[in-house]
Amino acid sequence: MNFAEIPNALVSSIILAGLYVLVGLSWVLLFRATQIMNFATGQFVLLGACLYYSFTVSLHLPFIVSLLFALLIVAAIGASIHRFFIRRMAGNEGFFAPVVLTLGVSTVLSQIVNLSYGAGSLAIALPITQKNFNLSSNIAVTSNDLVTLVVGVVVMFIAQLLIRRSRWGIQMRAAAESTVLASQSGINVDRVFMGGWAGAAVVVAIVGITYGASTIVTPTLADIGIRGLAVAIVGGFDSIVGLIPAALIVALAENLSVVFFGESVRDAAVMIVILIVLAVRPQGLLGTKAVVRV
Amino acid sequence: MTANNETSSADRGIRALIRRRSVRWVLLGIVLVLLAAMPFLASDYQLAILVSIFLAVIGSVATNMLIGVANQASIGNAAFLAIGAFSGALVSNYLGWNPILAVLSGGVAAAVIGLIVAIPAVRVRGLYLIIATLALHYIVLYLLTRYQGSTVGIGGFTMTPITFPGLTLQQGWYYIAGVVALVTGLVMRNLLRSKFGRAWFSMARDEVASRALGVNLFGQKLAVFGLSSFILGIEGALLGYYIGIVSSDQFTFDLAVSYVAMVVVGGLGSVAGSVLGAVFVIGLPYLVTWLTGLLPAAVATVLSTKVFALESLLYGVAIVAFIVFEPRGLIYIWRRIVGSVARRFGRRPVESDSAVETTERPKAPPVKEPVHRLAETVLAARDLQVTYNRLSVAVDGINLSVGRREIVVMLGANGAGKTTTLRGLSGFLPAENARVSAGEVVLEGQRVDGKLPFELARRGMALVPEREKVFKTLTVTENLAVVPTRKGGDRSGMLALIDEIFPALRELRTRQAGYLSGGERQMLAIAKALVSDPKVLLVDELSLGIAPVVVTRLMSSLNDIRKARDISILLVEQNAPAALAIADYAYVLQTGEVLLEGTGAELLKDPEVQRLYLGGSEAGHYGHYEASEDAPTLSATTLSAASRSARRDRS
C-alpha cells in the first residue's frame, strides 16, 4: 500500500473512465435495442484494434481510411450476428439462450483473431505526436490519454443525439417497447436490431483502437469487455447518462483497490462493485427499473 | 406403425426380441460388461480420454440439474469446482484425511457456498443471476489465488497420488470416475422422477404459478443449488487428485462456459443429454487431433501449431450452431435416430414431431362466387385460417373483402375471431408463434399472406391494434415520426389531414403517449396509422373504453377520412349500431367463421343481428349516423334465405 500513488490513481481513473464509458455504452445500446447482453463485447474491442493494425501497419493505408474500414467491418460482423443467428432463433426461448450464443460467439471471434494474428502483441498508433504533460512531479498524462477522453465524450454525445433525435433512434426505442407494434407500424425491426448490433460493435471497436494505441494489442485487450458490463450495471442498464458517473465509479474502485491490495485484485474489485449494486440498487444509479427481478 | 407390408421372418424375430424387456436388460448388461472390461482393452491414452469424459459427466449432470431442470442460469460452475478442489487439497495436505473423506469434504465445502449463493438467488433471477454468478466466479478465484499465493505459491498444491493395487493409474481412475459419474447420473435420473424433479420443472416454467401450487421456492432453490454445487465440489476434488496439482489458474471462466456448453449442446434437462454433451465437448479436441494426424504430414505440421485454436474455434461454432439451429441438443438428434431405427423394427418412435404438424383440415367445399359489390376490391381474405402455437386453429375459412373507399365492419361476440382475423390480414412476426396456415390474403391484387407486418404496412396496410396501439415511452410527435410513409404515399398531406381531424393532438405534441387519456391515445393510434397514407386502415375495437361522445366523433372522423382520401376501412367493433350506421358492408363472425354478411343497412334490419347485437328495436336510437350516400346498395344478394340456410348446412 502506497498512499503516494493515490493522486496518480485518481488521474488514471478519469482517463480509464473515458474508455469504460464507451464499453458500457456498447452494452447499454445493444440491451436497449434488443434486450440482449453481449458477452462477446470484449472480442469486438480486440477485433477493432486488430483490423486497424491490418490496415495501418500491414497495408499502410492512411489513418482515416483504416479507421473507416475497421469500423465498417466490425459493424458488418455485429449486424450479421443478428441477421444470421439471433433472427433465426424463434425469439421465445428466454434470456439464457442469447447469453450462451454470445459466449459462443466470443469464443469464435477470439479464435479467429488468434488464428489470423497469433497470440503475440501488435503495436498500433494514432496519427498524433506523442507528448507527455506533467501535472506534477509523478503524474503525467500522455496525448493518447487526452485523445481517449475526447473520443469518449464525443462518441457519448453522438450516441445520445442519435438515440434521442435520429429516425433510427426513435425506431429503436419503439422496437424496444414493442416489436410487434413496431413492425405493424411499418418499422423493419430486424434492420433496427442489426443497427443496434452494428452500433454496439463500432463503439467498442473505437475503444479497441484508442486503448490499443495507448497500450499494446494482445488478446487480453478483450478483458475490458466485462468492465463495460460493470459500468452498465452501475449506471442502470437502460440509461445512457448514468454511464458517465458509473464509468468513474468502476475505474476508481478498480484503481484504488489496486493501490491498496495489489494488482491481482483488479478483476475481483470490479465484480464486488457489481455485487454491491445488484444487492443495494439493482436498477443502477439512473436506471428506471431492474432488468430482471422477481 | 402396423406391419402392413411384407416383412421377413428375421425382421419379425428381431422385433419380437426387442419388445421383450428382458432382452433390453441383457443388452444393457452387455454394454456394462464392455464398459467394465474397457481398462483391459484400451490404451492408457484412450483411458485418459475416457476418464476426462467421466469426470466431466459429473459436472455436466450437476450443471444441467441447475440450469436445464430448475432454470437457474448460473455460470459459477468453475468456482464450485475450485472450492471442491481446494478443500480436498487442504484437508488431505494439512489434516491428513484419506482421499475419500477429502473428496467428500470438497463436496460439502462447495455445497455450503452453494447454499449461501442460493439465498440471494431466491430473489434474483434471470440475467441478474447470471451476472451474480459471474461475479462470484471472479471473486472466489481471486480469494483462492490470494490464499494459494500466501501459502504454497504460484505452483499450487501438490496432491498425494492415489495408488491402485494391481491396476495402472489410468485403469484405477477409469473405475473411480466411471462409478462416480454413473452414480451421479442415476441420482439425477431418479430425482427428476421424484417430487423434487417435478417441483424444479414447475419452478422453471413459472415461479409464481409453482408457488401457487404449493412449491416451496426457497427450499427448492436451496436444494437444487446445494445439490448441484455438492456434486461439482466432488468433481473438483477428484480432478485435483487426478491431475495431481490444485492451482487456481486451472479454474478459468472458459472452464465454466465449457460446462454450460455441455448442457446446451447435449440437451437441457436431460441426464443422457448431459452425458452426450460431456462426450462432445471433451472429445472434440481429441477428435481434431486425431483427424489432423490423418492428414498428409506437410499439412499436419502446418496445422499442428494451430490445433488448439482450431479446436476452440470448432467448439465455439458448435455452441452457436446448437443454440441457433438445434436448441434441443444432441439428445434430440439421438432420439430421432433411435426413433427411426425403432420404427424400422416396428416399435413406436420415442418422440415424434409429426403429431404436432397436422393442422390442415379437410378443405371446405369451394366457396360460392364472392358477393358482387360495386367497389373494386382492395383487400380480401380467401378461406383464411390462422393457427396459434402450431396446433390451435383460431379462425378457419374466413372470406371477406374490402372495396375501395368502403367502410366494412366486422361484428361478433368475444372469441368470435375478429382480432385474429385482423392479425391474420396484417401479418405475424416469427416470434409470435402464429401464422396464416391456409387460405390467402390479397392486397391490391397481390398475395401477401406470410409477409411480415412491416412489409404489409409499407404496402399500405395500417393496423390500429386493440391493446398495444401507441408507443407509450415515445412522445406524440415521435409516435408519428416513427412510422415510415407508404411507397408513393403523401405524408405531408396526411399530417395536415390529421391536424384537421384531431386538433386536440396538436396541443399534446411533446407529451409522452403513456400519459394520454384513453380517447387521446385512440386518436393518436389512428393518426399514427394514417400518417403512412395507407390504402387500407384496419381498426380493432374503436370504441373500447372510450366515452360514447368520443366514439361518435371518431366514427364521423373515419367517415370523413374515407371521403377525403382514397382509403378503405375495416372496422372491428362491439358497438354494432354505431358501426353499422356508417358501414357500407358488414360481416358477422361466430366461432372463427363468417355467420352473416350484407350491407350495413341490411344487417341493421336483419332480425338475427337485432337479436344478437341491437337488443331489439333500439336501432332508431342511432339514426343520426347516416349510411354513406355512395354505399353500394345492391339488392340483398347475400342475405337471401337460401344462402343463409346453405351456410347453416355446412356448419
Q: What are the pLDDT digits (tens) for A259-284?
A: 988 888 888 999 999 988 888 887 88
What's the pLDDT score for residue B342?
78
| Backbone φ and ψ of B443, nearest 5° | -120, 120
Q: What dihedral do alpha carbons B230, B234, B240, B243 form, nearest 10°?
A: -130
Q: Does A155 score more than 90 pLDDT?
A: yes
Min Cα–Cα distance to chain B from A156, Å:
21
Q: What percentage of residues in chain A have a pLDDT greater than 90?
A: 69
Min Cα–Cα distance to chain A from B332, Å:
16
Cβ contacts of B88 within 8 Å, gap of 6 or more? B102, B103, B105, B106, B159, B236, B237, B240, B241, B246
Q: Does A111 score more than 70 pLDDT?
A: yes
**CA B378, CA B19: separation in Å to the nearest integer?**
61
Q: What are the residue ranges in chain B where pLDDT is below 70?
A: 1-21, 121-125, 346-374, 545, 614-651
> Which chain A residue's Cα is nearest to B526?
A185
> Which chain B residue's Cα is nearest to A90?
B431
Cβ–Cβ gap B473/A173 under 8 Å? yes
> Which chain B residue's Cα is nearest to A186?
B454
Q: What is the mean pLDDT of residues A5-13?
A: 89
A218/B contact by beta carbon, under 8 A: no
Least CB-CB distance to B324: which of A101, A184, A271?
Answer: A101
As given in the structure block, the three cell numbers for residue A228 are 463495460
The A residues from 109 to 138 touching B (CB cutoff 8 Å) are 110-112, 114-115
Contact between residue B134 and residue B76 where contact means Cβ atoms under 8 Å apart: yes
> Which chain A residue's Cα is nearest to B260?
A100
Cβ contacts of B135 within 8 Å, gap of 6 or more? A271, A272, A274, A275, A278
What's the pLDDT score for residue B616?
45
Least CB-CB distance to A188: which of B125, B426, B454?
Answer: B454
What's the pLDDT score for residue A91?
58
Task: Look at phi and psi of residue A125 and say left if phi exceeds 0, alpha if psi is from -120 to 50, else beta.
Answer: beta
Contact between residue B434 and residue B386 where contact means Cβ atoms under 8 Å apart: yes
Tens-digit pLDDT profile for residues A207-251: 999 999 999 999 999 999 999 999 999 998 888 899 999 999 999
Contact between residue B638 and residue B371 where contact means Cβ atoms under 8 Å apart: yes
Probe site for chain B from A103, A193, A234, A292 (most B CB atoms < 10 A): A103
Question: Hey, is B263 helix, strand or coil?
Answer: helix
Cβ contacts of B506 within 8 Å, gap of 6 or more? B499
Min Cα–Cα distance to chain A from B162, Å:
33
ipTM for the whole complex: 0.91
Three-state SS annotation for B542-562: CCCCCCHHHHHHHHHHHHHHH
Contact between residue B469 and residue B537 where contact means Cβ atoms under 8 Å apart: no
What's the pLDDT score for residue B17?
60
Cβ contacts of B488 within 8 Å, gap of 6 or more? none
What's the pLDDT score for residue A1?
57
Min Cα–Cα distance to chain A from B443, Å:
15
| Residue A172 Cα to chain centre, angstroms | 19
- CB–CB contacts below 8 A, A to B: 209
Cβ contacts of B60 within 8 Å, gap of 6 or more? B259, B262, B263, B266, B274, B275, B277, B278
CB neighbours of residue B436 within 10 Å: 22
What's the pLDDT score for residue A129?
84
> Which chain A residue's Cα is nearest to B128?
A292
> Which chain A residue's Cα is nearest to B140?
A268
For residue A167, which residues of chain B lie inside 8 Å, CB to CB?
481-482
Least CB-CB distance to B471: which of A112, A115, A177?
Answer: A177
Question: Hey, is B201 helix, strand or coil?
Answer: helix
Least CB-CB distance to B532: which of A89, A170, A186?
Answer: A186
The B residues from 252 to 271 touching A (CB cutoff 8 Å) are 254, 257, 260-261, 264
Least CB-CB distance to B309: which of A115, A177, A264?
Answer: A115
The B residues from 5 to 64 touching A (CB cutoff 8 Å) are none
Residue with cell 472466489: B140
What's the pLDDT score for residue A116?
92
Q: Which of B585, B533, B540 is nearest to B561 (CA)?
A: B533
Min Cα–Cα distance to chain A from B114, Å:
16
**CA B631, CA B629: separation in Å to the nearest integer?**
6
Max intra-chain CA distance, chain A: 63
Tens-digit pLDDT profile for residues B621-643: 333 333 333 333 333 333 333 34
| Exposed e or buried b per residue across B269-284, where buried means at least 16 C-beta atoms within 10 angstroms of its C-beta | bbbbbbbbbbbbbbbb
What's the pLDDT score for residue B160?
86
Number of H helices, E strands in chain B: 27, 12
> Which chain A residue's Cα is nearest to B145?
A264
Least CB-CB distance to A107: which of B139, B315, B458?
Answer: B315
A83-90 LR contacts (CB < 8 Å, sep 24+) = A83/A190, A83/A194, A85/B320, A85/B324, A86/A34, A86/A36, A86/A193, A87/A190, A87/A193, A87/B430, A88/B324, A88/B325, A89/B323, A89/B324, A89/B327, A90/B430, A90/B431, A90/B433
Tens-digit pLDDT profile for residues B58-71: 999 999 999 888 88
A293/B contact by beta carbon, under 8 A: yes
Mean of the per-residue pLDDT values of chain A: 90
Cβ contacts of B624 within 8 Å, gap of 6 or more? none
pTM: 0.86
Min Cα–Cα distance to chain A from B483, Å:
6
What's the pLDDT score for residue A173?
92
